[in-house]
Amino acid sequence: MDLFAMENTQEIPFALPKIEGYSVEWDESLKGFCIKVPNGELFYSERFFSKKISDRALEYFLENDKLSLDKTNWREISDEEFSKVEFKNIKWKRDSIKLYGKSIPLPRYTSWYGDKGRDYTYSGIKSAPNEWNKGLLYFKEQVEKVAGSKFNSVLMNWYRDGKDYLNWHADDEKELGRNPIIASVNFGATRDFIIRKNDKSQKISIPLGHGTLLIMKGELQHFWQHSVPKRANVNESRFNLTFRTIL
């Protein structure tokens, strides 16, 4: 018996607007909440992955040829030093976006994995996928069982601490199809994942913690945006994996 998994309670750990169009149901077999919001659906499992697996994930993502996992302050490593570190399992990189003719580095590291040929473009950055590895395939297979969908790619985000963030956007690129199912897996520091209606009339703050799975589906990407805002009190790294299907 996995004692950590039993920490799943049936009390949803975040607030939903108390208005029409919302409903929550605990699914005992999936150990998570099926949530209906206006024009969209979510699935939330707070401790989908055990503590043991989640702790191993943190090591796995950071194993490298130079720096000690627990003693390194990743915020203090310059981009040049970072580019010389060879990570054993994940090919982390710092992308830049073009804004008003200027090249601006993203406030986080990213990495893209997937089936051959499943290139993906977001924020003007075109990424050819790295080849799947054992660890990522393990996570993919676990979330596919719950999502009821097969994924062929994953976008990884590494937020070094609360100063790293992600701006408002929707995952509405045409390669993802009309109503994409997107499975978000999270390890490390808990961060608030905020979703808001496109007209800003409704907002939900969803804590994504060590081992949490969140699935977004239905029409959500057409009617809602999401973001991960800065949090001054967060000093630890957080890793997010969003599994997707590129058509």
Record the tokens describing residue 232, joined without a space.
Answer: 């001054």
Q: Considering the complex, what minimum distance in angstroms separates the CB of residue 208 from ligand AKG?
A: 6
The reply to whether 187 sits near ligand AKG by the rule CB under 6 A is: no
Residues from 130 through 169 that contact ligand AKG (CB under 6 A)? 155, 157, 166
Dist. CA 45–CA 4, nearest whole Å: 13
User: Are 144 and 237 spatial neighbours (Cβ–Cβ below 8 Å)?
Assistant: no
Which phi and psi angles does 48 have, rounded to 5°? -65, -45
Dist. CA 69–CA 226, nearest whole Å: 30
Q: Which is nearer to ligand AKG, 67 or 170 (CB)?
A: 170
User: Are 159 and 238 spatial neighbours (Cβ–Cβ below 8 Å)?
Assistant: yes
User: Are 95 and 110 spatial neighbours (Cβ–Cβ below 8 Å)?
Assistant: yes
Q: Considering the complex, what minimum distance in angstroms separates the CB of residue 111 from ligand AKG?
A: 11
Q: Which is nearer to ligand AKG, 136 or 166 (CB)?
A: 166
User: Are 159 and 208 spatial neighbours (Cβ–Cβ below 8 Å)?
Assistant: no
Query: Residue from 37, 62, 213, 228 that binds ligand AKG (CB under 6 A)?
Result: 228
Residue with smallest beta-carbon separation from ligand AKG: 240
Per-residue contact string for residues 197-226; x = within reach of ligand AKG by CB under 6 A? -----------x-----------------x
The reply to whether 184 sits near ligand AKG by the rule CB under 6 A is: yes
- Cβ neighbors of 197 (< 8 A, separation 6 or more) are 38, 203, 223, 224
Number of residues located near ligand AKG, criterion CB under 6 A: 11
Record the tokens describing residue 130, joined without a space.
Answer: 């790295």
**Contact positions toward ligand AKG, by CB under 6 A?**
155, 157, 166, 171, 184, 193, 208, 226, 228, 240, 242
